[in-house]
């Protein structure tokens, strides 16, 4: 049985277990344990000449920000199902990364 995040509706919007902890999550991810720049350099070696990257579970955009700086000519798309995470990610990555609100367990990945 796979992991399925809990989601419910509150006042017209979907809420999940990450909605209430977005700020703490971002602080934890920026706390120094993860070196997003080094991770982006390692990912670059795997990505090679590919021009498109899809990050599933982009969260607050820390890795996407580092990857965009490492591969400025790459079309990066980040997907997450938590609106509050995507708000922080949008502030962080600006126009460098396309962000999509979706549940990756049920989205169509044709493109």
Q: Return the pLDDT at 26.
A: 92
Which range in 18-22, 31-35, 43-47 is most confidently predicted, on average pLDDT? 43-47
Q: Return the pLDDT at 60.
A: 96
Count CB-CB contacts under 10 A for residue 55.
19
C-alpha dihedral, 43 to 48 to 49 to 54, nearest 10°: -30
- Over residues 44-103, the pLDDT tens digits come to 999 999 999 999 999 999 999 999 999 999 999 999 999 999 999 999 999 999 999 998
């Amino acid at each position: 049985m796979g992991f399925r995040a809990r989601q419910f509706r509150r006042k017209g919007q979907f809420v999940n277990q990450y909605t209430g902890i977005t700020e703490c999550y971002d602080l934890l991810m920026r706390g120094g344990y993860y070196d997003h720049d080094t991770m982006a350099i390692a990912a670059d070696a795997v990505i090679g000449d590919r021009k498109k990257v899809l990050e599933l579970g982009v969260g607050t955009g820390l890795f996407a920000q580092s990857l965009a700086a490492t591969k400025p000519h790459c079309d990066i798309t980040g997907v997450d199902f938590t609106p509050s995470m995507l708000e922080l990610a949008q502030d962080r990555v600006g126009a460098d990364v396309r962000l999509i609100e979706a549940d990756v367990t049920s989205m169509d990945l044709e493109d």
